[in-house]
């Protein structure tokens, strides 16, 4: 592919992502539509669950379960990419075709729902309603909400906001801008596989190991880009220094970048010890020594998130119009 064709592809894919993002930010995935047809991620989840229940047998040796997980992962990716390619080929190369592709791609972004879920936690904390805050935070984090106090709820929510801004917004936009609808589809399949079978426990370590490593690779650049966006959007000069200093302390090779940038930008500490059911994990602090976040910090974090997304949209505009 020559330079002109490559430039045209990036321009077209960037425009597609802008259109998809505009739709998602405006209307999200409406509840009435979810009630009727569910959601593409739910469809992927059904497929992954069917494979996992059939192929992840505890009595099988580790190597066999790993190979079964690789087969499950590759099959899921082929289905996702195949569906995206079929849709792209079937839609006319007109304004209507662009709108159809953008509408489908919009279902694979989560900027609006992420903001709404975290804002619900912040609003409940602002009124001192811990019960409602715990109920709201249970929708965005996997840890036990009953064991979280007000600062723990705020920390968990800000960490989720930072990490999911990468997984749910920046990464799909990144791969969609490079590879179009198939790019955003394959990324979402990888991320869904990781969230469902990429756990580091006895049941999933073998079966989901390949999916987890693939997700780490797919998020390598987007996570660092998200961290830079948060650091810039925080308007705090030391956010960059704290991000570069603390990001590698996180257990994840990627999540530490946006989380450390958020911690530095807001002047609070994040991560640290947390409970998943009966299990306590002693994670290191990001921006250790700073104070704990509260409801007001969460509202500031949401503003940092909005500004970061505006910067991201401006970068996409540059790709399209430069």
Q: Convert the pLDDT of each residue in 136-159 to its tens digit.
A: 999 988 777 888 899 999 999 999
The CA distance from 238 to 268, in Å, is: 12
- Give the domain extent around 94: 3-321
Q: Which of 162, 157, 147 has its CA nearest to residue 126? A: 157
Domain count for the chain: 1
Q: What is the pLDDT of residue 34?
A: 85
Which pLDDT score, from 0 to 100, does residue 8 have? 79
pTM of the model: 0.93
Q: How far apart are CA 106 and CA 262, in angstroms?
A: 26
In angstroms, the CA 304 to CA 130 distance is 24
Q: Give me the phi and psi of 127, to 5 degrees please.
A: -95, 0
pLDDT value of position 278: 58
87-118 pLDDT, tens digit per residue, is 999 998 889 999 999 999 999 999 999 999 99
How much of the chain exceeds pLDDT 90, in percent? 80
Taking the C-alpha atoms of residue 211 and residue 70, their distance in angstroms, rounded to an integer, is 7
Predicted local distance difference test score (pLDDT) of residue 272: 84
CA distance 311 to 322: 16
- The span from the CA of 247 to the CA of 93, in Å, is 43
Q: What per-residue confidence (pLDDT) applies to 315? A: 93
Of 228, 239, 301, 294, nearest in space to 265 by CA: 239
Low-confidence ranges of the chain (pLDDT < 50): none
Q: Give 267: exposed, middle or buried? Use CB within 10 Å, 0-12, 13-18, 19+.
A: middle
pLDDT for the residue numbered 200: 85
Task: Return the DSSP state at 278.
Answer: T
Q: Which residues touch 112 (CB under 8 Å, ≥6 apart)?
A: 24, 25, 26, 27, 28
Among residues 186, 204, 182, the alpha carbon closest in space to that of 195 is found at 204
């Amino acid at each position: 592919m020559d330079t002109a064709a490559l430039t045209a592809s990036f321009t077209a894919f960037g425009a597609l992502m802008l259109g998809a993002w505009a739709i998602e930010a405006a209307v999200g995935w409406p509840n009435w539509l979810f009630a009727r047809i569910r959601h593409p991620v739910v469809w992927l989840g059904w497929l992954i669950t069917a494979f996992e229940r059939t192929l992840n047998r505890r009595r099988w040796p580790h190597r066999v379960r790993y190979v079964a997980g690789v087969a499950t992962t590759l099959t899921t990716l082929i289905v996702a990419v195949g569906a995206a390619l079929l849709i792209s080929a079937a839609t006319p190369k007109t304004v209507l075709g662009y709108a159809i592709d953008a509408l489908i791609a919009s279902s694979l972004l989560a900027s609006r729902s992420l903001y709404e879920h975290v804002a619900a936690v912040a609003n409940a904390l602002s009124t001192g309603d811990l019960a409602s805050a715990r109920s709201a935070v249970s929708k965005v984090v996997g840890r036990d909400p009953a064991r979280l106090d007000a600062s723990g709820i705020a920390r968990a929510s800000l960490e989720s906001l930072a990490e999911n801004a990468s997984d749910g917004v920046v990464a799909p936009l990144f791969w969609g801008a490079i590879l179009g609808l198939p790019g955003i589809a394959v990324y979402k399949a990888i991320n869904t596989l990781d969230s469902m079978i990429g756990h580091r426990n006895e049941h999933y370590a073998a079966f989901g190991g390949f999916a987890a490593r693939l997700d780490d690779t797919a998020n390598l650049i987007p996570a660092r880009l998200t961290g830079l966006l948060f650091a810039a959007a925080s308007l705090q000069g030391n956010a960059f220094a704290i991000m570069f200093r603390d990001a590698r302390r996180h257990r994840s090779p990627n999540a530490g970048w946006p989380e450390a940038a958020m911690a530095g930008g807001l002047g609070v500490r994040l991560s640290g010890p947390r409970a998943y059911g009966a299990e306590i994990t002693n994670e290191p602090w990001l921006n250790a020594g700073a104070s704990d976040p509260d409801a007001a910090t969460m509202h500031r974090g949401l503003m940092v998130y909005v500004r970061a997304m505006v910067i991201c949209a401006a970068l996409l505009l540059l790709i399209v119009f430069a």
